[in-house]
Structures are given as structure tokens and as C-alpha cells.
A and B are shown apart, each in its own frame.
Chain A
């Protein structure tokens, strides 16, 4: 029957089973590919992946003048661009989205513009960023910031319109609130869980925009390294980087879900 519950132990057995099946299938396909071509690197074995892992953490440069390992250089570059871009995009969209939801005279000129621009895929806008902002740090940051800005502004604006009733606002006035207090004490606090959820949902698209840009014009970063390593078919590094990307995504998602639980204990999905 649809949605019939299953025992918790069975759920966990099936969940672990899914991971085991994935890993076993990978190993079988890799072994088959190695039988066909012993020098193949497209689907490396777990042993080769271990070597890839060691390679990314190996210090670079000469022994007398060591430089940080590839992983740290790429991770620092990507996380810095992602963090800064997301921080700017989130801050701008919160301000604009909340004001659009609160004031009709701000909503009127902006809602159609925001809706239109949110439909253009940010990766398709890449040539414009190259031409206008250049290809340095500013480009990566503005691409992530503007890439998430329009859709996040729209979701925050919708949250204000739908989750904050006129009654809640009128009541706050009767309790002596000023307009600024209504925005901070009522609107912001009511939609905070939606904002956190919105940030969580934007991490994936932001990563896509950033990695795409890094693959095209980067000189460091996860996207850049994936492209460089795939060009020489060093897939053991590529797969390790993909695994790291998945872990970064999961960690960010878990952190934001925890943050939402801590900040908004009243909120129920």
C-alpha cells in the first residue's frame, strides 16, 4: 500500500543496502573494465581511488620549498568564492525580498523584473559576466551572488506574502509596533525558517554556477581541478573531488537544518 510504514530496522537495513549495492556495482564495473584494459583510468578501482586521495593531499612544489597540497588550494579557492558569493546574494535577496513583500510600492516595479530575470539560467549569462566584470575573483563572486539572487528574492517575497498574514501585521500595530519593528520582529522572525530553507536549496545551484565558471576560466578551485584532471584522464582524482563535493553539500545541508532547528524550534515542516 502507498505510504505504508515499515519498521525502523528494515528502513536502515535497506538504506545501508543501497550504499553497499552502489559500491559493489562500482567495483564490479571497474574490475570488468580493468580486465578489458589493464591501464584504464576511467573507472578506477578503490585502490586507485586511494592513490588519488593521497595525491590530492600531497604537498606540492620542491621539498626545500613546499607548497600546500592541491586539495587545500582548490578547497580554499572554491569555498571562499562560494561563501562570499552566497553571503552577498543571500543578504541582497533578504533585503529586496522582504521589502517587496512588505511594501506595494516596492513590489510593483520589481516583481515583474525579478520574475523575468530569474528565468535566465546564470550559466548562460557567463559571457556577460566575463565582459562586464572580468575573469577574476569578482566574476566568481558576482556570478554566485547574482545567480542565486533572483530566485531567492522571489522565494523570500512569496514567503512574506503567504506566511505573514495581514492580521499578524495589523495586530502588531495594535500592540504598538513601528514599521521597522514589524519588519524585524514579525516578518523576519516568521519567515526565518523559510529563508534558511531557501539558502539550503540555493547551495546546489550556486555550486553549479561556480564550478561551471571555474571550469571555464579558473586557475584554482574544485571545478578547475576537475577539468584539468579529466583532461589527462586522471579520474581517480576526479572521483575523489566529486565525493568531496557531495560531502560538502551534505555538510552544508546538515548545518543549515541544525541551524533551523536551533533558531526556529517552533517550525514544523
Chain B
């Protein structure tokens, strides 16, 4: 089932294909992400996840197709798409607070105003630093404001990087294996942080506000994908037209957890096994749309909710 055409999407990938010479990497990728969704992207190594991410970020032009954020075509890296990398996530020469407020400085002041209207600039920077501190408080790093990245642990650095991306309120934030280099405890902390973001999205939706955390996260941890996200997408070549390139072969909703729920991965064993089979099993060649049922499931869920309201 196709997604509804009139809906406002934070991110839209339309018929995107990528080939390098004779090597087809991605084939006809179509993806629509609603504001407030946390989408996990999984797939075998070398299946084209990074290529897709680069196309969405705008650093690599796809061979064909288009990416839109908030309805605007992506022509290069821009303010609408934030990014958190696994490494190189912060500027070494800025403290945690300065890293978080760096985007505000770039966005809300110009080079000329910084030099020629110093009073206004200083007042603006005070305001930026206050907002940065607030955000660092939200991610539990109020004590690390004055620390340089070299003085922080990997987990702290990634939290600051997340704050740096989200303080700009981009339409979508790409997380490129953001927790891949962290130990289990730090990973868990950051997963909790994403769950808290999701809860804030739900509150915003209930109150009729636009949710501010829309995330597309690449991960190789299936448990993490299902636990943190509300939708999982699998990219793979293991489908009947695999020679044309990798395609989205899995797109289904996930159970939603709250940070207070017990962290019990056994609750989604079934979906994890389904995901493993659909995306990672090279002996299981199937029709590419077999597990692409997100919009269908969403629509039947919406019908159920409206029926319940009527009754």
C-alpha cells in the first residue's frame, strides 16, 4: 500500500537509485517519514545504507530520484537535515556548550554582525549559551558545559553531538551508527535519551504542536532498532530483483517503549527474527514488497482507533 499523498512529510525519498559504473547500489528507494517518527534503518554491510544517508544529507547526488525535506528538494547539505556521525561528531576547538550553540551562532548571526555590532552579538551569544545549557541539561550533561571534546568520554561526546544537531530544530536528524563505538552502559543511556525524545514527540502531538524530534537512525543492532524506533526499515539485495541494487525489503512499525518500561528485549523476539530473515538471510529471496507494510498497518490502526471512538 502506498503512503497517503496529501500528508505532510518531514522526509520524502522518491524513486531514488544509485549506480557506480556498472555496479547498481540502490534501486528505486521510496521512503516517507512523518514528523515525530523515529525510524531505524538496518541492513547487511555494504548494502547501501551509507549511500542512502549521503543522498538524504545531500553530499552525494543520486543517479536518479529525489529527496525532499519538508517538501523542499535537497540540493546539498543544509539546515533542514541534521547529522550525528559515529566519529568526528564534535568540533575539537569548542567546549560542549560552544559546540551546542555553534549552529545558533552560524544561523542567527553573520560574519559582519559579529565584528561590526559587537554589543548585539554578545547579547545574542549569551542567549545562545543559555539555550545550549538548557539543552545540555536535558541530555544530562549540565556539568560538562566547559569541557572540550578531548576531555569527554565517547558517550558524553555523542550526547553533545545529539544536542548540537537537535537544538537547530531541523526537519529530520540522521544518526549514522551513533552508538556504534560505545560500551553497553553508555549505549543504554543514549537509547533512553532517544526514548525520552519520542515521549516528548507524543506529548507535542497530543497538544497539537509539531513534534520536534524526527530521526532516521542507521544501526546494525537489531534489538536497538526495534527498542528505540517506532518503525524499522530494512535495506537489502536479497529480493527477486536484487541484481538491480538494494531495495527497502522491510518496513514495519515497532512496539513503542517508554523510558520507564523495563528494558526487555524478549518482548520483540518475533519481530527481530522476522527482520533478520527478511533483511539478512541471503538464502531467503522474496518479493521486495512482502514485508513493506508500514502504511497499510498504520491505516488499519487508524481505522481501529476511529471505530473505537465511534463505538
Contact = CB atoms under 8 A, between A and B. Distances in A.
Interface stretch (B17-25, B80-88, B266-274, B275-283): B80-88
A177 B92 contact: no
A172 interface: yes
B85 A171 contact: yes
Interface string B63-104: 000000000000011110111010111011110000000110
Interface string A156-179: 000000000111101111111110
Given A181-B111, A265-B148, A176 B83 contact: no
A6 to B, nearest CB: 28
Interface of A is mostly: helix
A174 B85 contact: no
Given A170-B83, A175-B106, A266-B150, A180 B59 contact: no
B38 interface: no
Interface stretch (A63-71, A95-103, A139-147, A183-191): A183-191
Contacts of B149: 266
A167 B93 contact: no
Interface residues of B, number: 29
B92 A167 contact: no
A268 B102 contact: no
Given A167-B85, A175-B168, A176-B79, A181 B106 contact: yes
Contact of B92 (A181, A184, A266): A266
Nearest to A189: B93
Contacts of B183: none
B260 interface: no
A264 interface: yes
Nearest to A263: B93
B297 to A, nearest CB: 32
A175 B93 contact: no
Nearest to B149: A266
A174 B81 CA distance: 6
Given A181-B106, A186-B91, A173 B148 contact: no
Contacts of A266: 92-94, 148-150
A174 B56 CA distance: 12
Interface string A181-212: 10011100110100000000000000000000
Nearest to A186: B91
Contacts of A174: 57, 77-79, 81-83, 103, 165, 168, 170
A181 B106 CA distance: 8
A177 to B, nearest CB: 5
A171 B83 contact: yes
B85 A190 contact: no
Nearest to B54: A170
Contacts of A185: 102, 106
Contacts of B76: 173
Interface in B166-188: 168, 170
A145 B83 CA distance: 42
B111 A180 contact: yes
A167 B87 CA distance: 9
A263 to B, nearest CB: 10
A190 B91 contact: yes
B129 to A, nearest CB: 16
Contacts of B207: none
Contacts of A264: 93
Given A181-B106, A185-B106, A266-B150, A176 B91 contact: no
Contacts of B94: 266
Given A165-B88, A190-B91, A266-B92, A176 B107 contact: yes
A184 B57 contact: no
B303 to A, nearest CB: 38
Nearest to A181: B106
A194 to B, nearest CB: 12
A175 B161 CA distance: 12
B147 to A, nearest CB: 10
B102 A175 contact: yes
A183 to B, nearest CB: 10
Q: Which of B82, B89, B93 has the most CB of A within 10 A?
A: B93
B145 to A, nearest CB: 14
Contacts of B92: 190, 266-267
Contacts of B57: 170, 174
A164 to B, nearest CB: 10
B85 A173 contact: no
29 contacts: A165-B88, A166-B59, A167-B83, A167-B85, A167-B88, A168-B91, A170-B59, A170-B83, A171-B89, A172-B106, A173-B76, A174-B57, A174-B77, A174-B78, A174-B82, A174-B83, A175-B103, A175-B106, A175-B107, A175-B168, A176-B106, A176-B168, A178-B111, A180-B111, A185-B102, A185-B106, A186-B91, A189-B93, A266-B148
Given A174-B81, A176-B106, A178-B111, 8 more contacts: A170-B83, A171-B89, A174-B77, A174-B82, A174-B83, A175-B164, A185-B106, A186-B91
Interface of A: 165-168, 170-178, 180-181, 184-186, 189-190, 192, 264-268
